[in-house]
Structure 1
Amino acid sequence: MEPLGVKPQVVDVWSLPTWAVSEPGTPPLLPPQPTPNHAMPPFRISKSLNNKICLWNGDITCLNVEAIVHSTNESLNERSATSERLLYKAGSGLKYELAHNIKSCKTGEVCITDGYNLPARYVIHTVGPRYNIKYQTAAESALHYCYRRTLECAREKKIRTIAFCPINSVRRGFPPDQGGHIALRTVRRFLERFSQHMERIVFVVNSIDVSIYEILLPLYFPRTMQDEDCGCYLLPNDLGDELGEPLIPDRQIRIIDNPQHKYEDLEDSADLAAQFQSSVSIGDHAFSQMEEDIDKQRLLGGQPAYATADPETASMTSDLQHKQSYGWKNGSSKEDSFYAQDPNPAESDSARYERLLRRAKTEDLSEVSGIGCLYQCGVDKFGRPVIIFIGKWFKFNEINLEKAILYLIYLLDPLVRGDYVIVYFHTITTTENHPSLAWIREVYEVLEYKYKKNLKAFYIVHPTLWTKIMTWWFTTFMAPQIKHKVHSVPGVEYLYDIIDQDQLEIPAYITEHDMTVNGIRYYKPGSASS
């Protein structure tokens, strides 16, 4: 919100450079000896379509365009920074219309209002889906309909310039890269059929989403022959129907081979993910009955909702809170000894990291590297290095933690200079494998900014209740800037949308366990098996 007396800056849509004239960036890195997903480029170069597309990192409420898209909830009163800024700038007229005339909007549907005091003439409101990996197809289809119906609404109203914010909300656990694929594919299919009805489509992104769109835009709107070729390898097998709607029969019906396995812990995870503003799913456990805003309760003097949970969970959470409040710096446990012996506690974080990096390059770390719990196994479908961490092989109470942090820096320092992803397998871990939150926090703080900035996704495979509580607590109170990057997945199969099978090297016990608990028919993208 602007200070009183300061006129907000208005950006004219026609002043934005189109995708056709934007300078082509470095093409995505393909995996070694890649196998194409498509024999021919799915999307060809079209300068006329590229001239209708803009990518802009800015404030959508400042854009002078015929219509802007507002991603909200079903009650049209979402409490997010973008929604609150939009409603504030539009004025009381928009709030009144939403509250008294429209009242609600279903997921995947749209409604349109005047822009009131906004530079935009119209605001098209739409409700993005909550993401649940078990019902992935339903979530993707709902998101497709958000974009599709928004474009159809604009066509009916003869709107020729429109600005989209990312409708896939991290608050509802939707992976940003999958949301980007759906957004660009739907817009591309629409323009192929109705390009004469649209003159400008602006994708308004923030600093988090801009890198995703910079990678995906050349695949759906190629500007060079090299972009077309990359599309053969990096675009998913499923590109939907002629309108871009996802069609994946393998995900619509899953046959569970193990009759003892149940999905109750996943079926109710959508609401919880939204409440925690993360993709961590906790399910039916009493801990999941927490109310939406714990911080607000604490500030108002109320008891946190976990006080009403079952005794085991309440005890776990209470211990975590006690450590978070009192134990980070004053403990004398084994994991703190490495940092307590720091010869110069007053040195800067950068200087401390450089000192540790020098040590990592000179000291013998074979006792840690030989464990094999941390390694790079290949690249994902965007050419980003994939780092694997095997929780079962990390003996927290036995391992030399000083050597462990040095080996972590030694291995990751050359890899994190660009984008990278981490896959953590929590398969069949025990309490001896569980690091303390204090040690995790110290590791997080000692790592340089590039580690957090360039981390694009952190996948936790086979999470347990302990993992979910720890993940939620850490990303909520200590590392909220990476919260949207952390995703829990119930099985190895779900990684194949982002990592090819031949790029994923994991111990045999993990796949054996996965087949036992999930009854997975190891689905590979593009296969016709059910």
Structure 2
Amino acid sequence: MLAGPDLKEDLQKLKGCRTGEAKLTKGFNLAARFIIHTVGPKYKSRYRTAAESSLYSCYRNVLQLAKEQSVSSVGFCVINSAKRGYPLEDATHIALRTVRRFLEIHGHTIEKVVFAVSELEEATYQKLLPLYFPRSLKEETLSLPYLPADIGNAEGEPVVPERQIRISEKPGAPEDNQEEEDEGLRDDLSFIGSHAFARMEGDIDKQRKLILQGQLSEAALQKQHQRNYNRWLCQARSEDLSDIASLKALYQTGVDNCGRTVMVVVGRNIPVTLIDMDKALLYFIHVMDHIAVKEYVLVYFHTLTSEYNHLDSDFLKKLYDVVDVKYKRNLKAVYFVHPTFRSKVSTWFFTTFSVSGLKDKIHHVDSLHQLFSAISPEQIDFPPFVLEYDARDVDFIVSGERAARENSHCYAPVRKMNDGEGWTDESPSEARGKMELELGQW
């Protein structure tokens, strides 16, 4: 032990240190006045909230002890341990966020915070540090789209909305202060049933019958839909979805020309007949829940897909019905890259008769050159086979960079061959109108 035998004696006097706690000893033979000891949590996806809260407590309690001892500089090792199963990136978010929030409030007491990391952890810290400690306004602006939706409360502590329950002292009485408390039994009885906790909910069987009869109110339907989505979300957070994640069929990349998050779906990586589609739906919810709180766009690569990769309309309708309203409200565009005639027909029928709310957001994109006018090339991670396929007809690198430079806007134009006279740009609405006419004749 580098600190010497005295530290061992001090540790025995501490009588242990529980998860999330922090305890202080002298530095003895080390080049530090004090050593602050803490114990990081074990991580299980089923108990994610508890692990997040414990890890937050570790960093927060260490900083609090440093403040109480008037320590001007603090050095952190990485508290979360790979042996305990904590995902490095999630833990790094909590570490940086907690330190940032603490310094915002108590920054005058601490002059320097050092993160001592290994080579395995360095890349993650370098990637996430600009999100919480931007060195310039430009870096702050570029980092904003990558901040997670949950950034905790004012102190960086993870917040669970379901646990923020308001409890009043006397649920049967009004919340305003009463100057006279003994005005009689009649006054007390008049408030019974007026408080939120005393309101009665209709039974679930009756509500289901009303739904079948079309008599349930819009507000009640929305409430029921939210409850259903929350059940899916809870299951998505507790289920092991590593087999679906390994397909790399859905991932987040950069931002479009309007600063909106870009999500990529790779059709060829979805073996529909070989995977559990309910788990695929759970994975979609798990990934997208925090993305959909802000505006975003979807890029779907239909490139080189076969019949074994095509999602059927029943699954897509189920997904559309299950997801929260924020998914639909904040989805601004769907870029359908390398469509076939069959896929265009299927998309037209699906968006016309099943989910009409998506119809105006679908943009068929025949080449990456068109896509680059809405999303810069460096903002998308392309599967190699997509680039190879597109390179057969288009010099996508030169054309894409020129399009991104000279014709930058939020939506990619729809391209259509103009009777052998070359390529012409059409607005999505014009192209859609022509397509519907052609389909009607067909």
**Category of TM-score, reference length = shorter chain:** 0.3 to 0.5
Higher relative contact order (CA 8 A, sep 6+): 1
Q: TM-score with structure 1 length normalisation?
A: 0.39
Give the structure with higher Rg (CA). 2
